[in-house]
A and B are shown apart, each in its own frame.
Chain A
């Protein structure tokens, strides 16, 4: 998994044209099975067409002839063919389900992998609810489209062809009438699909909107409660749900207005009428029929043929109806696939580098004239920043809220590509280093701690999956987390709620520290600007950290005087620029802003300690 290469689940060529082509590529993975299903479906269609013909034959010849054994033979033939049809039909649908559901899964896995490789910019802009909707609802619509799709298209198309052939053998005149109307049938089908398409996309987008709103409401539930905004939220949700309802009803109306089925039944009645005229003409010994002043040549027709013809028309009812349903689900599937395809092909990957391996590093860090903005055109978060750190040194970063402190760590971890300048580790530019190597050497403890709803054990072992229980415990002890973990009845197997809400802020921070300890990084970035942990616990952690920091290059974002005093260098940031770099002693005397920060501390009443 590399983040600087575009991820292609399928062959590259399927990503160059459109979502149709991409979906086709997914289906091509199952071309063997698709052929098999097509073949089996063809057999069932042949049987399905043949069975009414037997019925026509019985009415036409066997019954009027009083041929009892012949009748029984036909009846047994019907039942045998019926059994074969059922078995083959079952087989076909099993393979069919495999194709469609495996494709759905493949698409979802592709989506997941593709999205995981996108750079952070993508996630800053994307809405979680929308991505979720694509990964779940849109992929599911694909199954609904593909599953009946393959079989139904074959049944519909070949059903029509087979019925046409069968009709042709019965009576040319009647078939010709059918053939005259058929182009209209196709035309209406086409307009139907065309009208459904934009509404389908609209439907999926509105669905994603509900999802997004719901997701935000649920994750921000405490804020919603705090401001008693439940009613407002419910109103907003209702309006989104209603707008989705409107589009469903609108789509339903288009779907209902499906003219081919009308054409077909009108046609059936016309054919019945025509059949009557032909039989009448036959009786009178005429060989042509006057229609609108033209003499149309006719072919003689028997009653049995007319019945068989009408039954065959009856067979067309099914494909016609299924086509309505089919176009309905297929347009929906395509709407989903176009949304997924857009996300998949959104170019949001890191620039391709040389992928140099970086197994053992010393830990020198150099920032040279680094400029970086989170978004194009936005005010840069870091401007022309330069500093260097020798292996094992500690850099403390300090500065007002929003001055770009956290950004430094993110850039070192290469969550983003910088706009100008260079960042190097051991004089290798970070964008030339193989990304997984880089990230396994740089550990980061963030300010906003995201834990996963899994056991504490799994959370600690997040970066190193094959840890022993002893190693996990050792890390927890080092992070001063062991004691509180053991105070839970389930110990390390305690499941923490989403985002770890059942743990207190300080407890979460310690689990996060343990999580980083186990990866044993050469370079550590720690965002410690929070004061969520009480002083005493922090004192314990810092004792543990002293050991951890040995032989590591550390960048620590802090406001704590003790840390600042011990740091090899202090970087004072303001509005993304380095206002001053130096030691505590160098900064405290001549640098007013730095001194100001400690003003608050100096105002505290002195503590008198008994000796």
Chain B
């Protein structure tokens, strides 16, 4: 049974026309127009130098090889010195050009990365459920690197073009026939290049996708390493990893083989033109139409002309090949978050929560809610109970605006949540999720995540409330202990307590605990329960729990079954009237092994 990752397109990948790609890229180019203009000017100057040098040398050679009259050695020496000084300038220009080139490239990469990152911050959580982290990372890191290199095209394209035109002009002025010969070969080169470029694009798409799959495999294996070890999976993982790499290798090799045709081919063209120069040019010299210096000029111009032509052609190829990367980037940037948001920034929230005929499904065919309605009054403590998969966590996720509902509305203080600015809305919520996630950093850093300007005293206070103080005190570095990535230095229970402390620090109007203390032992939990009672008092609290000790103190209990609320009331009322609840409670008793009292 293979765990192989698919290397196909992501669900939101689109295709972009060549023209669209160029247009979109030009937006990034416009951000850096200053540097691009500098680059363009530098390129023109260096082009001017590379045009002037053969002209000067031609003069020298013509002078040297002239058959009649005395050679003007003084003039030749001046030419030599001009050449000497010119070389130094050429180097200076070259220096500036490379520097600017790097500035533009580096900035373009940054700009793409930052834009993608902030796009990702706006995406609904459902997006991350569907996309593997490794693959998303590949887009942000790798594809941006490829695409960032394309921005320079906007400077080099025009300078190449200018250079070609000027050089051809000079060549025409020297000898028309030979120039026509050389000119004739350029369309051939262009056609060949474009032909190859089409293949490049196809193959590089495959390369980018297989590369993303390799990336994802690395990410998952590293995060799941304990599981692999426990199940002796290392050997098979490595076989599968090798397979994925082989696929990537084959795609890359195919791309390289196509790419490799380029330079030998261009090389051959240059020889072909050399042949033309020698054959027809030599003849012209023999016939006395042109001089040897002119022949040298043609020779060096053709070599220099080839540079810009190749560059121009390879730019087309690069955009084509790079468009595999730009397509992946643009597809991500163009993907709209499904979240509907407004601009209202509520100053304070009282905590009245209403679900009105809410319909929701994670995947289209499997509805979770088909018309859920409930009204929760401010400052109440509500417990959600029910079987696994009954839809308790979903309610919490919807309230947190992790997903967008399909029908109905969710109201906070009688206002539709869709009218709120999502971030400012969430700042009134405190959510402690099922899975405690900690970032690399100290305990204090992790708690302070909820409120960056919190003082140490405030942090120690929430640590005390969550009964973490004894543990923290036992650490030599106290709250400055590094918990490592994902909090791997702590036990799950400790991580849960820290996430709880973090939520408390935020002091939210609505507090949501989703199995927040499931991994904490019952004794510690009951202690926390006591200290939370005060905290629950002045805010709306929604608690998902299975331990009846947690539920029992709630003002109101909602019993979930298959996406519906089948019971609503206090423990005492429900135990009398609600079968589902009584069932839950009874099994709980039996299961815990607590004696039931029969009458």
B485 in contact with A214 (CB, 8 Å): no
Among residues 216 to 260 in chain A, which have CB atoms less than 8 Å away from a CB atom of chain B? 216-234, 237-238, 241-242, 244-245, 248-249, 251-253, 255-257, 259
Q: B457 near A: Cβ within 8 Å?
A: no
CA distance A245 to B65 in the complex (A): 53
In the complex, which residues of chain B have a beta carbon less than 8 angstroms from the beta carbon of A425? none
| A427 contacts the other chain (CB 8 A) | no
Complex-state Cα separation, A242 to B585, whole angstroms: 57
At the interface, yes or no: B598 with Cβ under 8 Å from chain A? Answer: yes
Cβ of B79 to closest chain A Cβ, rounded Å: 8
Is A128 part of the contact surface with B, judged by Cβ < 8 Å? yes
Residues of A within 8 A of B109 (CB): 245, 248
Find out whether the CB atom of A136 lies under 8 angstroms from the CB atom of B142.
yes
Q: Is the CB of B246 within 8 A of A105?
A: yes
In Å, the complex CA distance between A245 and B145 comes to 11
Q: Is the CB of B521 within 8 A of A123?
A: no
Q: Determine if B549 and A93 form an interchain contact, defined as CB atoms under 8 angstroms apart.
A: no
Question: Which A residues touch B439, using CB under 8 A?
Answer: 216, 220, 223
Do B225 and A440 touch (CB < 8 A)?
Answer: no
Give the shortest distance, in Å, between B305 (CB) and chain A (any CB).
14
Give Cα A607–Cα B548 distance, bound, in whole angstroms. Answer: 12
Query: In the complex, which of the residues A98, A225, A487, A534 contacts B387, with contact meaning CB atoms closer than 8 Å?
Result: A534
B220 in complex: contacting residue of A76, A90, A444, A452, CB < 8 Å: A452
Asked if B68 lies at the interface with its beta carbon under 8 angstroms from chain A, I say: no
- Of B2, B141, B452, the residue contacting A458 (CB under 8 A) is B2
A residues 120-151 in Cβ contact with B at 8 Å: 120, 123-129, 131-132, 135-137, 147
B158 interfacial by beta-carbon distance below 8 Å: no
Chain B residues positioned under 8 Å from A220 (CB to CB): 437, 439
Q: Does residue A294 face the partner (Cβ distance < 8 Å to B)?
A: no
Within 8 Å by CB of A537, from B388, B519, B545, B547, lies B388
With a cutoff of 8 Å between Cβ atoms, the chain B residues found around residue A132 in the complex are 134, 137, 215, 218-219, 222
A402 and B494 form a contact (CB under 8 A): yes
| Interface status of B157 (Cβ within 8 A of chain A) | no
Partner of A401, one of B140, B506, B524, B584: B524
Known A-B contacts A81-B271, A248-B105, A539-B591; the reply to A465 vs B236 at CB < 8 A is yes
Distance (whole angstroms) from the CB of B455 to the closest CB of chain A:
18
The answer to whether B388 touches A504, judged by C-beta atoms less than 8 angstroms apart, is: yes
Residue B12 lies at the interface, judged by CB distance under 8 Å to chain A: no
A72–B484 touching, CB < 8 Å: no
Binds A, one of B178-186, B255-263, B325-333, B372-380: B255-263
Enumerate chain A residues within 8 angstroms of B233, measured Cβ to Cβ.
Answer: 462-463
Residues in A whose Cβ lies below 8 Å from that of B366? 487-489
A55 touches B299 (CB 8 A): yes
How many angstroms from the CA of A262 to the CA of B1 in the assembled complex? 61
B83 and A78 form a contact (CB under 8 A): no
Indicate whether B278 reaches chain A with its CB closer than 8 angstroms.
Answer: yes
Q: Nearest Cβ in chain A — how far from B592, in angstroms?
A: 5
Whether B91 and A262, one on each chain, are in contact in the complex, defined by CB atoms closer than 8 angstroms, is yes
A532 touches B437 (CB 8 A): no
Name the one of B88, B365, B385, B522 contacting A489, with C-beta atoms under 8 angstroms.
B365
Residue A603, interface by CB 8 Å: yes
By the criterion CB–CB under 8 Å, are B133 and A498 in contact? yes
Return B546 CB to nearest CB of chain A, in Å: 5
| A502, CB-defined interface residue at 8 Å | yes
B358 at the interface (CB under 8 A from A): no
Contact: B591 with A542, CB < 8 Å?
yes
Which A residues, 527 to 574, have Cβ-Cβ distances below 8 Å to chain B? 529-539, 542, 559-565
Residue of A nearest to B128 (CB): A221
Asked whether A234 lies within 8 Å of B121 as measured between CB atoms, the reply is: yes
The answer to whether B449 touches A401, judged by C-beta atoms less than 8 angstroms apart, is: no
Enumerate chain B residues within 8 angstroms of A127, measured Cβ to Cβ: 440, 485
Instruction: Assess whether A116 is in contact with B274, with CB atoms less than 8 Å apart.
Output: no
B340 at the interface (CB under 8 A from A): no
Cα(A497)–Cα(B295), bound, Å: 68
Asked if A272 is at the interface (CB within 8 A of a chain B CB), the reply is yes
Which stretch in B191-199, B408-416, B423-431 binds the other chain? B423-431
Please tell me if A289 contacts chain B, counting CB pairs below 8 Å.
no
CB distance from A284 to the nearest CB of B (A): 10
Interface residues of A in 444-478 (CB under 8 A from B): 444, 446-448, 450, 452-454, 457-458, 461-463, 465-467
A399 contact set on B, CB distance < 8 A: 521
A561 to B295, CA, bound (A): 100
From A15-23, A303-311, A353-361, give the one contacting chain B: A303-311
Binds A, one of B16-24, B279-287, B311-319: B279-287
- Chain A neighbourhood of B449, CB < 8 A: 223, 227, 229
- Do residues B71 and A283 form an inter-chain contact, with CB atoms below 8 A? yes
Q: A51 to B587, Cβ gap below 8 A?
A: no
A214 lies within 8 A of B141 (CB): yes
Binds B, one of A60-68, A160-168, A330-338: A60-68
CB of A605 within 8 Å of the partner chain: yes
Find out whether the CB atom of B227 lies under 8 angstroms from the CB atom of A498. no
A249–B80 contact, CB under 8 A? no
Question: Does B60 contact A272, Cβ atoms closer than 8 Å?
Answer: yes
Interface centre among A54, A215, A598 (most CB of B within 10 A): A215
Task: For the complex formed, measure the closest distance between the CB of A156 and the CB atoms of chain B, giving whole angstroms.
Answer: 16
B3, B433, B592: most-surrounded residue (chain A CB, <10 A): B592
Residues of B within 8 A of A120 (CB): 225-226, 229
| Contacts A462-B231, A601-B522 given; does A59 touch B295 at CB 8 Å | yes
A51 CA to B277 CA, complexed, in Å: 13
- A450, B520: Cβ atoms closer than 8 Å: no
Stretch at the interface among B112-120, B160-168, B169-177, B347-355: B112-120
Q: Residue-by-residue, is B360-403 near A (CB-CB < 8 Å gives 1, otherwise 0)?
A: 00110110000000000000000001111100010000001110
Contact A90 B437 (CB under 8 A): no
- Choose, from A27-35, A174-182, A189-197, A263-271, the stretch at the interface: A263-271
Interface check A415, CB cutoff 8 A: yes
Looking across the interface, which residue of chain B has its beta carbon closest to that of A250?
B102
Instruction: Indicate if B267 sits at the interface (CB-CB under 8 A).
Output: yes
Q: Is B272 an interface residue (CB 8 A)?
A: yes
List residues of B (229-280) whose CB comes within 8 Å of A's CBs.
229-238, 241-242, 245-246, 248-249, 252-253, 256-257, 260-261, 263-265, 267-268, 270-272, 274-275, 278-279
Report if B129 contacts A (CB, 8 A).
Answer: yes
Q: Which of B64, B79, B142 contacts A279 (CB 8 A)?
A: B64
Complex CA–CA separation, A54 to B271 (angstroms): 12
Known: A116-B238, A251-B102, A597-B521. A440 touches B278 (CB 8 A): no
Q: Could you say which residues of chain B place their CB within 8 Å of the CB of A269? A: 80-81, 83-84, 86-87
B400 near A226 with CB under 8 A, answer: yes
Q: Which of B26-34, B93-101, B531-539 contacts A (4 or more CB under 8 A)?
A: B93-101
Partner of B132, one of A51, A87, A276, A498: A498
Distance from A81 Cβ to chain B, minimum over Cβ atoms (Å): 7
Docked pose: A604 CA to B551 CA in angstroms? 10
Q: A534 is contacted by which of B84, B278, B388, B401 (Cβ under 8 Å)?
A: B388
Q: Mark B1-13, 1 if CB is under 8 A from A, else 0.
A: 1111100000000
The answer on a CB contact under 8 Å between B98 and A245 is no
Interface assignment of A83: CB less than 8 Å from any CB of chain B: yes
| Residues of B close to A124: CB separation below 8 A | 484, 488-489
A220 to B295, CA, bound (A): 68
Given A116-B228, A256-B98, 18 other A-B residues pairs in contact with their CB atoms under 8 A: A1-B238, A63-B292, A75-B282, A85-B271, A97-B257, A136-B142, A218-B133, A228-B422, A252-B98, A252-B106, A277-B77, A401-B520, A440-B232, A462-B231, A532-B546, A597-B521, A602-B594, A609-B586
A-B pairs with beta carbons under 8 Å apart, 24 shown: A63-B292, A75-B278, A82-B274, A85-B264, A113-B234, A116-B238, A136-B218, A210-B113, A225-B400, A270-B84, A272-B57, A276-B76, A276-B77, A303-B292, A310-B57, A401-B521, A466-B1, A502-B129, A531-B515, A562-B592, A604-B594, A607-B585, A608-B598, A609-B596
Q: Which 10 A-B pairs have the closest CB atoms?
A: A252-B102, A82-B271, A506-B388, A401-B493, A562-B593, A273-B80, A256-B98, A463-B231, A265-B87, A269-B83
